[in-house]
Amino acid sequence: MQAPPTPRFTEALKFWFKLGFISFGGPAGQIALMHAELVERRRWISERRFLHALNYCMLLPGPEAQQLATYIGWLMHRRWGGIAAGALFVLPSLLLLVLLSWVYVCHGDVPWVAGLFYGLKPAVTALVLQAAWRIGQRTLRHPVLWAIAMAAFAALFLLRLPFPAIVAGAALAGVLAARVWPQAFAPGAGHGGTAADAPHPPACIDDDTPTPPHARWHRAGFLRVVGVGLGLGAGVAAALWALQGGPGLFTQMAGFFTQAALLSFGGAYAVLPFVAQGAVEQYQWLSAPQMIDGLALGETTPGPLIMVVAFVAFLGGWGQPAFGPDSALATAVLAAVVVSFFTFLPSFVFILAGGPLVEATHGQLRYTAPLAAISAAVVGVIVNLALFFAQHVFWPAGFAGGFDALAAAIALAAALALMRFKQGVIPVLAGCALAGLLAHLVLGRL
């Protein structure tokens, strides 16, 4: 059997455009979909090379599924291929979330819409718990990692330390603990087991295909991409500064979400506590219940879950019109676009500049130990996020206002459906939304 012909750039563009509209199911579902399409059906890349790319992307902060698409697009069609693949992976999600955010702010207080969100909020709490369980099963392989996870939870829940300090502390703990317990940070079995070693039909980019020249390490290329990335970020920030005549909402969001993008080790659920802490408590762009609603909307749209930041930005812009009292919609849309740009710009720089360099370090303990420790800390951080959501869902009026037993029952049912019966996210969200609507119609809960 012969390898299929290398896809033309236009053919690849059609696939990445389609993928952006069908990439439901979170990182696991999106990676599985890309594997089925790119490895099994189209044979654009072999199993081994696919897993090699995935392992690299999982070392980086940011959405690994979007980075994987960027990586494969870059490997096949150079830098513009990577930019197109990564951008088309998130563009449909951005458009849908802007539309849904507008519907939310204009019609979110309509009784039947409020009923749907009443059921979605407990489901989101269950989803966050499931994320902690899933990441914990993969990450907490040794008592040292359990200790790091519990310390991260205590630092956030009890001491209220900022998220960047927890990430830095976990990385330092990993470096120090690896000297005493190196076995705690030994890499696991990997994603593919022996599947990559099994006989397979030839692929466009096969196991023995030489690394193309553009994917090899060159100092000049590295500096060029980093320079362009920094220049783009600084240029857009300067334009926003000039637009508002100084520091304002847009520059504030640009700085905050750039920081969030650089801290998102472990996926969207890992950085959401930082986003919630800043957006809800520090900047007050939206309320905690609205943050939960945004996460529910993010779960129901294709693309990476971190796109919930577009909802956060939209509500922040809607509540703080930058161009006069009648500019709420324009401010909200621009805020969502600005935040999306600064959230994903680092991911493109990491792939296009750092791919050849970071691949050479994969599997070396001095690099993997701090990352493993950060992943362990992420488990504790996500558990804290689940408690934060549960507090606002089960005691919507505060602890003095009484416990919402129906919301707790919906959350329990969602947790069982997700973790015990392995149901998909979309059916669970739909069922919980229907339960909320019925509660409104039959019991008048709202």
Per-residue pLDDT, 44: 93
pLDDT of residue 344 exceeding 60, the answer is yes
pLDDT of residue 362 exceeding 60, the answer is no
Q: Which residue has the higher pLDDT, 240 or 29?
A: 240
Average pLDDT (287-291) is 91
CA 432 to chain centre: 23
Question: pLDDT digits over 130-153, tens only?
Answer: 878 877 887 788 999 999 999 999
Highest averaged pLDDT of the listed ranges 123-127, 331-335, 353-357, 393-397: 331-335
What residues does 205 pair with on adjacent strands? 45
Average pLDDT (417-446) is 85
Q: Is 324 exposed, middle or buried (0-12, 13-18, 19+ CB in 10 A)?
A: exposed
Per-residue pLDDT, 267: 65
Helix H or strand E encompassing 20:
helix 9-22
Residue recorded with tokens 């890992």:
270
Per-residue pLDDT, 199: 64
Whole-angstrom Cα distance, residue 427 to residue 434? 10
Question: pLDDT digits over 77-100, tens only?
Answer: 999 999 999 999 999 999 999 999
* Range of weakest confidence among 95-99, 374-378, 391-395, 412-416: 374-378
Joined tokens for residue 103: 């519907």
Long-range contacts of 247-254 (CB under 8 A, 24+ apart): 248/322, 249/316, 249/317, 249/320, 249/322, 249/331, 249/335, 250/322, 250/334, 250/335, 250/338, 252/283, 253/313, 253/316, 253/335, 253/338, 253/339, 253/342, 254/338, 254/339, 254/342
pLDDT of residue 193 exceeding 90, the answer is no
pLDDT of residue 353 exceeding 60, the answer is yes
Question: pLDDT digits over 155-179, tens only?
Answer: 988 988 877 788 889 989 999 999 9
pTM across the whole model: 0.75
Backbone angles phi, psi at 45, to 5 degrees: -150, 145
Joined tokens for residue 164: 């960047």
Average pLDDT (194-213) is 73
pLDDT of residue 361 exceeding 60, the answer is no
pLDDT of residue 444 exceeding 70, the answer is no
Per-residue pLDDT, 365: 67
Helix H or strand E encompassing 67:
helix 64-107
pLDDT of residue 358 exceeding 70, the answer is no
Per-residue pLDDT, 191: 42
Measured CA to CA in angstroms, residue 399 lies from 93, 151, 293 at distances of: 36, 26, 21
pLDDT of residue 194 exceeding 50, the answer is no
**At 205, is the secondary structure helix, strand, or coil?**
strand
Average pLDDT (371-377) is 81
> What confidence category does residue 303 fall into, taking pLDDT thresholds of 50, 70 and 90?
confident
Whole-angstrom Cα distance, residue 329 to residue 56? 39
Whole-angstrom Cα distance, residue 6 to residue 300? 34
pLDDT of residue 290 exceeding 50, the answer is yes
Query: How high does pLDDT run on average in the chain?
Result: 86
Q: Which residue has the higher pLDDT, 314 or 139?
A: 314
Average pLDDT (11-39) is 82
Per-residue pLDDT, 445: 55
